[in-house]
């Protein structure tokens, strides 16, 4: 039995890959990372959105394509492989999932249609639901919210914000509300942005279904974890390819370093560690839409395992490049750092394994 991406899913993946290879070369990524070139970044984002990425997970009833998470996973692999400076996980995976499951009919009509028409883009702040932090968290009082949220995803160019409190209630806030303060956080990953946001009685529209159920927040986080795992999977694939190519070109003692047993072993180990991760991530995405009883557990397994494997691959790929691996010239560090930040986003491997243990009553 064949288990992998369908022709349609591969088509989406290939289209994103082709666009990024043509318009987001490593030189372009360097310029964006070094000088935060907004013009280049916006051009890349606009081109990706023209491929229909924003409407992937929006149900057909609200103008979207109504596709399953495996399509988004395929796209995320391409984004990671090309270290694309594009807001995807929060804005176009977690937000549509949360709004579809948590909104009333009126809320879904307003917000989901606006995502499809590019009239709204959502940032997502669910970190406080995953793990409590000192001096962070917030309270919903009637139609206002006060407090602080850390590591908010995809704030750049967003018009609205989705936040969740510790109970799983989700609310929508206009990002231009005068009662919120945005602070960009400095991280090692310069291909994407992360923010801290403070609220002081900011107006909030709480999603109706989340007042009585935490399904929307749980499913949204599961989707986000699977897609982040796919991003790290794509980044690891790129690093492996670069390591193998470099080992064939770089010569020492009159021979290509790829002919040395130690380098061969490192490349073989990376390949053997990475190969099972494809089926793990794809199966987790398949379970999300088709096997609900296994969905949350598989999301935990995919995110935690791929985080560990990709960390090892990023280290070994850098070692294969030797001293050149640490230079800006090769650009290996963009994939290395992206993998590192993905590892912590939406829960570290340790946090997620603890969740998986609780799911299995261990």
Neighbouring residues of 327: CB distance < 8 A, sequence distance ≥ 6: none
Q: Is the pLDDT of residue 337 over 50?
A: yes
Taking residues 303-322, what's their average pLDDT? 95
Structure tokens at 89: 């996980």
Taking residues 30-46, what's their average pLDDT? 88
Tens digits of residue pLDDT in 164-217: 988 889 999 999 999 999 999 888 999 998 999 999 999 999 999 988 899 999
Q: At what angle do helices 69-81 and 261-290 cross, to 10 degrees?
A: 150
Say if residues 336 and 310 touch (Cβ distance below 8 Å): no
pLDDT tier for residue 106 given thresholds of 50, 70 and 90: very high
- Which phi and psi (to 5°) does residue 67 adopt? -90, 170
Residue pointed to by tokens 């009553």: 361
Q: Is the pLDDT of residue 109 over 70?
A: yes
Domains, the chain, with CATH or none = 7-116 (1.10.540.10), 122-211 (2.40.110.10), 215-359 (1.20.140.10)
The predicted pLDDT at position 323 comes to: 82
Closest of 199, 72, 184, 188 to residue 143, by C-alpha? 199
Q: How far is CA 101 from CA 54, 92, 112, 296, in A?
A: 17, 14, 11, 16
Residue pointed to by tokens 């974890």: 225
Dist CA 94 CA 92 (whole Å)? 6
Q: Is the pLDDT of residue 305 over 60?
A: yes
Tens digits of residue pLDDT in 135-172: 777 888 888 998 888 889 999 999 999 999 888 899 99
Q: Is the pLDDT of residue 134 over 80?
A: no
The predicted pLDDT at position 1 comes to: 47
Task: Give the count of alpha carbons within 13 A of 358, CB side only.
Answer: 8
Taking residues 4-18, what's their average pLDDT? 91
The predicted pLDDT at position 22 comes to: 93
Dist CA 170 CA 219 (whole Å)? 12
Distance of CA 7 to the CA centre of its chain: 23
Dist CA 354 CA 16 (whole Å)? 35
Q: Is the pLDDT of residue 2 over 70?
A: no
Q: Mean pLDDT for the chain?
A: 92
* pTM (2 d.p.): 0.95
Taking residues 318-342, what's their average pLDDT? 90
Q: Is the pLDDT of residue 20 over 50?
A: yes
């Amino acid at each position: 039995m064949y288990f992998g991406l369908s022709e349609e899913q591969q088509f989406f993946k290939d289209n994103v890959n082709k666009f990024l290879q043509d318009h987001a070369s490593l030189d372009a990524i360097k310029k964006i990372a070094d000088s935060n070139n907004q013009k280049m970044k916006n051009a890349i984002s606009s081109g990706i959105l023209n491929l229909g990425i924003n409407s992937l997970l929006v149900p057909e009833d609200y103008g979207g394509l109504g596709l399953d998470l495996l399509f988004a996973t395929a796209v995320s692999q391409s984004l990671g492989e090309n270290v694309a400076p594009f807001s995807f996980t929060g804005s176009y995976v977690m937000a549509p999932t949360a709004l579809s499951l948590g909104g009333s009919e009126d809320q879904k009509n307003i917000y989901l249609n606006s995502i499809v028409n590019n009239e709204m883009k959502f940032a997502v702040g669910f970190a406080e639901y995953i793990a409590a932090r000192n001096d962070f968290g917030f309270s919903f009082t009637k139609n206002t919210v006060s407090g602080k949220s850390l590591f908010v995803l995809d704030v750049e160019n967003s018009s609205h914000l989705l936040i969740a409190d510790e109970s799983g209630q989700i609310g929508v806030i206009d990002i231009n509300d005068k009662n919120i303060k945005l602070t960009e956080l400095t991280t090692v990953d310069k291909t994407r942005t992360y923010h801290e946001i403070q609220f002081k009685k900011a107006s909030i529209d709480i999603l109706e279904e989340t007042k009585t159920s935490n399904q929307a927040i749980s499913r949204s986080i599961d989707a986000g974890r699977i897609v982040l795992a796919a991003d790290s999977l794509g980044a690891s694939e790129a690093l492996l390819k670069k390591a193998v190519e470099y080992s064939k070109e770089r010569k020492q003692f009159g021979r290509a370093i790829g002919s040395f047993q130690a380098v061969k072993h490192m490349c073989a180990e990376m390949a053997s560690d990475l190969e099972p991760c494809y089926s793990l991530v794809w199966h987790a995405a398949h379970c999300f839409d088709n096997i609900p009883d296994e969905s949350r557990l598989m999301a935990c397994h995919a995110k935690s395992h791929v985080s560990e494997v990709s960390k090892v691959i990023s280290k070994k790929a850098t070692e294969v490049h030797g001293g050149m691996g640490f230079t800006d010239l090769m650009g290996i560090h963009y994939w290395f750092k992206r993998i590192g930040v993905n590892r912590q986003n939406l829960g570290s491997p340790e946090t997620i394994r603890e969740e998986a243990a609780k799911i299995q009553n261990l």
